[in-house]
Amino acid sequence: QVQLVESGGGLVQAGGSLRLSCAASGLTFSKNVMGWFRQAPGKEREFVAGISWTGGATDCTDSVKGRFTISRDNAKNTVYLQMNSLKPEDTAVYYCAARGDYKRSVYRSDYSYWGQGTQVTVSS
């Protein structure tokens, strides 16, 4: 079965950095658009960043532009989220998601598979 396993979350001070990883198995990774979403307490899950099959095209939400970078290594079936200049408002559970289509998407409903999430806490 499909498994997405996130790692790399933790507690960091404002201005710090974290690198999230998501290891995928049970699917043809190179034929899946991958995305990162996050959900803060009391809020809906929101799109953070997405990446095309080859990694040649990416999207990210305005609030993280210039600070977060999504990338992937198809040889390792892994997608990454490099997060720099972290702010307290970035505190959330971060989820990796896979979409078995070549079209990128910012909508949760377009993603078929989800990881269990990893907690990121940014202290002020």
Query: What token pair was written down for 30?
Result: 């190179």
| Res. 24 pLDDT band, cuts 50 70 90 | very high
pLDDT, position 89: 97
pLDDT, position 26: 97
Return d(Cα 82, Cα 103) in angstroms, integer: 23
Query: What token pair was written down for 14?
Result: 């404002």
Return d(Cα 27, Cα 18) in angstroms, integer: 26
Place of tokens 């950095």: 17
Return d(Cα 109, Cα 102) in angstroms, integer: 15
Tally Cβ neighbours within 10 Å of residue 109. Answer: 6
Return d(Cα 71, Cα 73) in angstroms, integer: 7
Residue-wise pLDDT for 66-122, tens only, equals 999 999 999 999 999 999 999 999 999 999 999 999 999 999 999 999 999 999 999
